[in-house]
Amino acid sequence: MREVLLVRFGEVHLKGLNRPYFLKMLVEDIKKVLSGMNAKVWLSEGRIYVADAPDMSECARRVSRVFGVYSVSPAVEMEKELEPILAKAAEMMTGVTGSFKVICRRSDKHFPLNSQQLAVLAGERILEKNPSLTVDVHKPQTEMWIEIRDHAYLCNRELMAVGGLPMGTAGKALLLLSGGIDSPVAGYQIMRRGVNCQAIHFASPPYTSQRAKEKVLSLARIIGEYEYGMRVHIVPFTDIQMAIHEKCEEGLGTVIMRRFMMRIANEVAKQQGCQAVITGESIGQVASQTMEALMCTEQMTDLPVFRPLIGMDKLDIIHIAEKIGTYETSILPYEDCCTVFTPRHPVTKPRLDRVEKEEEKLDIDALVRAALDGIETVLV
């Protein structure tokens, strides 16, 4: 008898002919997060198993954070002998309260009882040993699973995992990562769909501090854990902001600045083989996130722009930030380049022709080139 984890995958099931490829990626990812844990990981009859690690609960915690995993059940693997199976089922239900149901699956047809017969016997034994439990076949509080496969597998707990698709199965993208609440959440949402992300951050020293940069790297580290390390490109943005501040109409400063961010992100994305850019924008949240402003910014890239938060309320975004563990870091009070030189009255409905006219006062190519040349890339 030994402790194992039964790993269930969600959407990977739906992937038709690509299924073997997705499963292979998923097994690789699980092996990666369990490296150093001395765990055995294998795929059998459409299910992934983990066993033999000294610390199985840490394994369960790590596996439940792998994209593509739907749930993880700590289970017992044992010989296919009726009496020990019944005894174990009754023991596993000790301490459980409320209603339950036994669910059996038998893929080994040589086992002498069919699923229904086994469920009845196990149910009787569980009730005998735990008389305070009740049976509810429709909406049980606890499901006791007994599966007869190459071995017998028993489990009555299911830990929900992150879901999504295995990392790297949906290509690469570049995340515009600020130190705020939104962009780490946006990155997480897209990464969860199997997209490998790099991050780009615009810093304006000395107006933005070293601590502000450290904060962004911490955020990248938190979400980067889901892809086993993330590349972060730090772009020197001071000269661009100074030039805008000195030469352009104040009210259009924000949208012009954001267009520079997008121009630079577009270049970096292409250099890095990324197929899309991601932002944490949400419609109407601030002056630079009106439809007019978004349109002006979007002009600066020919890649698709993913804005997973576009239709979400701030409170919902905060909820996810708390869940993924970025919120506490995001609310640290360090300045972002967007908060430097903020116009007193930003134009909320910028007109593209006016923006372009203002930009004629700047040497765009030289500014962009200098910023690209000054990029520092960090692996977190």
Which ranges in 198-288 belong to alpha helices (H)? Answer: 210-224, 238-247, 253-271
Residue identified by tokens 């301490």 is 95
Provide the minimum distance between the beta carbon of 181 and ligand ATP in the complex, in angstroms, as a whole number.
4
Provide the minimum distance between the beta carbon of 242 and ligand ATP in the complex, in angstroms, as a whole number.
15
Q: Which does 123 bind (CB under 5 to 8 A by kind): ligand ATP, Mg ion, none?
A: none
142 versus 288: smaller Cβ distance to ligand ATP: 288
Spatial CA neighbour of 237 closest among 178, 197, 304, 303: 178
169 versus 282: smaller Cβ distance to ligand ATP: 282
Where along the sequence are the contacts to ligand ATP (CB under 6 A)?
Answer: 176-178, 180-183, 200-202, 261, 279-281, 285-286, 288-289, 336-338
183 versus 198: smaller Cβ distance to ligand ATP: 183
180 binds Mg ion (CB under 5 A): yes
Backbone angles phi, psi at 147, to 5 degrees: -115, 135
SS3 147: strand
Provide the minimum distance between the beta carbon of 303 and ligand ATP in the complex, in angstroms, as a whole number.
14
178 binds Mg ion (CB under 5 A): yes
Residue number, nearest CB to ligand ATP: 180
**Alpha carbon 41 to chain centroid, angstroms:** 22
34 versus 321: smaller Cβ distance to Mg ion: 321
Q: Which does 201 bind (CB under 5 to 8 A by kind): Mg ion, ligand ATP, none?
A: ligand ATP
Between the CA atoms of 70, 73, 77 and 82, what dihedral angle is there, to the nearest 10 degrees? -110
Close Cβ partners of 162 (under 8 Å, ≥ 6 residues apart): 64, 65, 66, 67, 69, 192, 226
Helix axes 314-324, 182-191, angle to 10 degrees: 70
73 binds Mg ion (CB under 5 A): no
Which residues of the chain form contacts with Mg ion (CB under 5 A)? 178, 180
